[in-house]
Chains A and B, each alone.
Chain A
Amino acid sequence: MDLMSLEEKKQTDGQVDGASSVPSGGREQMIIFTVGDQRYCIPILSIKEIREFEDPTYLPHCPTYVEGAINIRGNIVTVVNLANYLGTAPQADNERRVVIIIEDGAHRATCGLLVDSVIGITEIALDEIQPISVDGGAAELSGLVSIGERVIRILRLDTVLSRLLGDEAIAAAAG
């Protein structure tokens, strides 16, 4: 997988961001996917499964980024259209769209993320993550990490879920 090799190359280069406030030494496996022309990643441990996109049931009064609800073995799971959520244009005529089912420990909730494609798995050193200030309005992302020439955005899953669960949950998370 080319990503892994890219990352390995970077490691041998020995570039470490010393200014990072994240404790050093930790590494985390991430899954990388594309939405539109951007690449994003989330921790692999938050993923329950990846499945083909099937037509969901429309949920009334839902925000534009909510695609609908699907049945996963008896559970009703909401699917988020990440392109709409992140405000980017999805790839046109994409047949490879998949839904990543994630579970968030803090909310004990499950949701599906509709993405354009899954690229692969990589391991990221936590101290290479450049945090993004939430005040800047980027609550959707928790940080950036560069692998080779590409910048990969790290998606904040708790924001996705608290938005799905409603305003009270956001307030609770913020307060």
Chain B
Amino acid sequence: MGDVMDDILKIFFEECDELLPELERGLGELSAEESSQETINAIFRAVHSIKGGAASFGLDRLVRFAHVYESALDGLRSGKVEPDPAIIKTFFLAMDVLSDLVAEAKHTGDEVDEGRIDENVRKLEAIIGKGGGAPVSSEVGETPVPDDFTPVTVDLGGFDFDEPAEGGGEPPQMLTVTFRPHSDLYSRGDDARNLLMGLKELLPVEEAGAMDVVCHMQDLPALADLPAEDARLGWTVRLPELSSSGIEDEIQAVFDWVGDVCDFQIVRDGQPEGETEPEPVEDTTIQENAPAAPVPVEVVERVAQADSSPPAPAAAPAKVGRKREQNASIRVDIGRIGMLMDMVGEMVIGQASLESALTRDALYDPELLKRLAVIKTLTRDIQEAVMAIRAQPVRNVFQRMQRVVREASSLANKDVALVLEGEETEVDRTLIENLTDPLTHMLRNAVDHGIESPEARQAAGKPTQGTIWLSARHRSGRILIEIRDDGGGINTQRVLQTAIKRGIVASGASLGENEINELIFAPGFSTAETVSDLSGRGVGMDVVKQAIQNLGGRVNIKSTPGKGTLFTLSLPLTLAVLDGMLIECRGSTMVVPVSSVVELVTVQKKDDVYTIPDGSHVVSVRGRCIPLIYLGDELTLPDDGGLQEETHHMGRAGEEGQMIVLVVENEAGARAALVVDGVRDQAQVVIKSIEKNYRQINGVSAATILGDGSVSLILDVSTLIVSATKRVDTRALEAIAERAA
């Protein structure tokens, strides 16, 4: 039982993770003045669903706050309150509190300060004027979840606070739907409530109050005689005939799934088509006749009353009858998709071996190969389709950034707006998860260092409100994320001075503008004169660059003094696949990420390789000395079996006095030359974790599976370079470079 509750709770939190961004998006639209009633409804629905779910789990703090929030939003929904920037800001701040309360309930966040809640509650209450226009306020924290079986009278009528039903000119034609479910309907796990919800959803939100529901309980015996398995209840629903002529079809559709286990009838008012008038309505005060028995009890269906969106656990079946589903989606465990990916990968391998068998002389058959080509195309399509399942719009991360900027700007006493572009751009979810931290950091920096103080902006003739643009778009198989601000740009003089002060750059060095800009990515660099709450916390842009590089991406800066700064992140679309160069070394095939490869050169052993006093080697490539890494030795690759290979290699090297080196670069721009036996191919490889079943290996970041099904290691270029440069004294390098020049 505990587990089941835990699972449901998990689902609730997952839904919160979806609802909060939805709320944020809605508020964003509201502030951009592109809102419609639908937007406001969506906002309301999000808060309401969180409240409803939280109530089921007894998350009181969350429920209380969500309730106040909901009441305030209701003012907006009913048109009593006009959204002005101040109100929207209050809603945004309240959203932050709400999301923190969710985090608190999830135990992923700190406990939310009571004072902060109170302050936000006060502000929210001020919007609607305390007490006014909040018809739901009497139900705070009520959780009508009966433990035992209780017949319930569902009253979906009588809550026309949205818009008085009499608003329409002439009285609308009424349709009467009478239905009575069989017990089979319940044994299928369905519920009459779902049918009622389905009917209600046929009506536009502002008309929802015009639906009248009566429950027939005349067949209900006293509790003592009640057979628990029997279905005794029926309902009559009267709803206005709407302009849409297809309403009867839509009603029919609500009952589509239950037609065999539920009697139902649709009667139009004034039409004698129905053989009988709906059964005389039994007064719901029947409970007075039931002596001593505490049932039936009249309970107002709170959920159905306030909104069309049911609480979390009941969400799925209630959607059956809904035709206007915007984004039909299912929740799938990520592990299953991973499995699918693995199997598609295996399929590609199987196909490759089939192909190589078919191209062998004995089996060569052009006809078969042609057919195989068709299957290959299909496989590729399947692979892409599977990747697409994992793809998600960057919106989720981007919208989180709104809050980052909001908080950062209020801490820095600056007025900054964040403009999002291309939020629909899709990338693999692994990437999305890893983007949050670097983006958060960069945006904080943009607010703190990029945007000037309002006074300075005014003096420079700019609007006092600073703007940061965050955009995403696809470009040639990669995703390009740009962070642009209209601040003062990078003060190159100050950056250079700081760099000299911190010993990052030798004094007297002359650097180009780009080189200076690159300095802000150097470890230990910070120009912040005062350590603010925002920056100077010990993590710098080097961490950002590292993180981006770990994702297989690159960062570029462009800065125009007085105009602003532009950071461009170029990232792969997925972390599951990597562009790799397949290299050979002592008979092993290994993969080097193409993103870290600078060039492939053949060097003369005699002329280009120098031994430095500590016994290590450097190679001179066009006058630049680069530490040499003998990959086979570095990775302790065994010589056995590769003996023939080795002698062949030695022979070749001896004959021609040459060797192949792959010049690689790490994020800090440090280079090393890997001595390899050869380069075999360039290919996209699927990244597989080694650490799942083994420890971390120095110099190896992951593994992949080659076309022949064998395991191949993906080299971790940065750790290889670090281990090489640690050995090679940089001063010695300079001396050699001089000599070489």
Contacts and interface: CB of A to CB of B under 8 A. Distances in A.
B695 interface: yes
Nearest to A166: B695
B703 interface: yes
A59 to B, nearest CB: 6
A61 B690 contact: no
Contact of A109 (B688, B692, B711): B692
B342 A73 contact: yes
A60 B711 CA distance: 13
Q: Which 5 A-B pairs have the closest CB atoms?
A: A74-B342, A166-B695, A60-B635, A57-B711, A78-B694
Contacts of B692: 75-76, 109
Given A58-B588, A71-B709, A75-B342, A164 B635 contact: no
A126 B709 CA distance: 41
Nearest to B690: A76
Interface in B304-348: 341-343, 345-346
Residue among B637, B689, B692, B709 with the highest chain A CB neighbour number at 10 A: B692
A148 interface: no
Interface string A159-175: 00000111101000000
A109 B693 contact: yes
A37 B705 CA distance: 35
Interface string A64-83: 00101111011111100000
B700 interface: yes
A75 B709 CA distance: 11
Contacts of B710: 57, 71
Contacts of A66: 694
Nearest to A68: B711
17 contacts: A57-B703, A57-B710, A58-B638, A60-B635, A60-B713, A61-B636, A66-B694, A69-B690, A74-B341, A75-B688, A75-B693, A76-B693, A77-B693, A78-B694, A111-B693, A165-B693, A166-B696
Interface string A136-156: 000000000000000000000
B410 interface: no
Contact of A76 (B588, B695, B699, B711): B711
Interface in B695-725: 695-700, 703, 705, 709-713
Interface of A: 56-62, 66, 68-71, 73-78, 109-111, 164-167, 169
A74 B705 contact: yes
A71 B705 contact: yes
A59 B703 CA distance: 10
Contacts of A60: 634-637, 697-700, 713
Nearest to B345: A74
A110 B688 CA distance: 14
Contacts of A73: 342-343, 346
Nearest to A77: B693
Contacts of A71: 705, 709-711
Contacts of B638: 58
A54 to B, nearest CB: 9
B689 A76 contact: yes
Contacts of B342: 73-75
Interface string B626-649: 000000001111100000000000
A110 B690 CA distance: 11
- Among A73, A76, A109, A165, the most chain B Cβ lie within 10 Å of the Cβ of A76
Interface of B: 341-343, 345-346, 588, 634-638, 688-690, 692-700, 703, 705, 709-713
Nearest to B699: A60
A104 to B, nearest CB: 10
Contacts, number: 82
Contact of B713 (A57, A109, A111, A164): A57
A69 B634 CA distance: 19
B221 to A, nearest CB: 52
Nearest to A109: B693
Contacts of A70: 711
B695 A57 contact: no
Nearest to A56: B711
A114 B130 CA distance: 74
Given A58-B638, A60-B637, A71-B710, A78 B697 contact: no
Contacts of A109: 692-693
A132 B725 CA distance: 48
Given A73-B342, A74-B346, A58 B690 contact: no
Contacts of A68: 711
B360 to A, nearest CB: 21
A94 to B, nearest CB: 18
Nearest to B694: A78
A170 to B, nearest CB: 10
Given A56-B711, A109-B693, A165-B695, A76 B688 contact: yes
A57 B712 contact: yes
A77 B709 CA distance: 13
Contact of A74 (B343, B634, B700): B343
A59 B693 CA distance: 12
B693 A61 contact: no
Contacts of B703: 57, 69, 76
A57 B690 CA distance: 12
A38 B20 CA distance: 62
A99 to B, nearest CB: 13
A59 B637 contact: no
A74 B688 contact: yes
Most B C-beta atoms less than 10 A away, residue of A61, A68, A111, A166: A61
Given A71-B710, A74-B343, A75-B688, A61 B697 contact: yes
A165 B694 contact: yes
Contacts of A62: 697
Contacts of A61: 635-636, 697-699
A79 to B, nearest CB: 10
Contacts of B694: 59, 66, 69, 76, 78, 111, 164-165
Contacts of A75: 342, 688, 692-693
A69 to B, nearest CB: 5
A60 B689 CA distance: 15
A78 B693 CA distance: 7
Contacts of A57: 588, 703, 710-713
Contacts of B635: 60-61
Contacts of A169: 695
Contacts of B688: 74-76
B223 to A, nearest CB: 48
B592 to A, nearest CB: 14
B708 to A, nearest CB: 10
